[in-house]
Amino acid sequence: MSHAVARLRAERLARSRKPFVARGSRAERCPDCRVIPSYCLCAWRPKVEVQAGMCLLMYDVEALKPSNTGWLIADLVPDTHAFGWLRTEVDPRLLALLEDPQYAPCVVFPGEYVEPERVIEALPPLDTGKRPLFILLDATWTEARKMFRKSPYLNRFPVLSLRPEQLSRYRLRRSKHDEHLCTAEVAALCLELAGEDQAAHALDAWLDLFTEHYLDAKHRRVLNEQSPAHQALKPFL
């Protein structure tokens, strides 16, 4: 696997002074889909065309967690960029990306935490030749708020405030708030706003299948390749 999140994971591991140990991380895992090999879902990876770009700012060890869903975005969206977030310094590759004239960047974050004049709830008309670049803060909710406050280089961009109608379906980590979506769910809503409905549906289906395989592996359940999650992905294979 050579997408942006996989490369960031490799960079982060190379800097580690001691092994990263997450729950279940001692088990052998497929290097591409991050589940136990006998539950591998690589053959089900969807293939869709996507015009929008995704920029993932990932908090410290987020890229190392087997349950991270930013990885799923990079699986599906070819134009995905991933950077580790640090309060004291900024990756120059990130700054160069934000200056790239082919993109119209926006930060995806709840509007109640930002000045009203920066908030948008739909994508503005884009200049000819520009594509949306969705900047997603991939972290826990507490970490994401810290990242938003302490990233002044993002202050010049509009803030896309999503108002999801559904509660989160994510079951791999606990959250105190059901309305807090995981990163892949947020990305799917962004793709829908950009008019890329097929990609949005594919990403939602990919998240559901990853969750099913991950939990089946965790509990050593027999895989059912006729399940609704598998059937939902068939149109995108």
pLDDT mean by block of 10 residues, the chain; 237 residues: 91 78 69 94 97 97 92 98 96 97 96 93 84 96 95 96 65 49 93 95 96 93 96 96
Residue pointed to by tokens 């939902």: 232
The Cα 35–Cα 132 span in angstroms is 32
34 inside domain: no
In order of 69, 86, 131, the CA distances from 140 in angstroms are 12, 15, 28
Total structural domains within the chain? 1
Nearest CA to 39 among 179, 211, 197? Answer: 211
**pLDDT score for 175:** 45
Structural domain of 112: 4-22+50-203
33 inside domain: no
85 inside domain: yes
Instruction: Note the pTM of the prediction, 2 decimals.
Output: 0.92
208 inside domain: no
The Cα 210–Cα 195 span in angstroms is 24
223 inside domain: no
225 inside domain: no
214 inside domain: no
* Token pair listed for 11: 């960079």
Nearest CA to 191 among 110, 230, 133, 126? Answer: 133
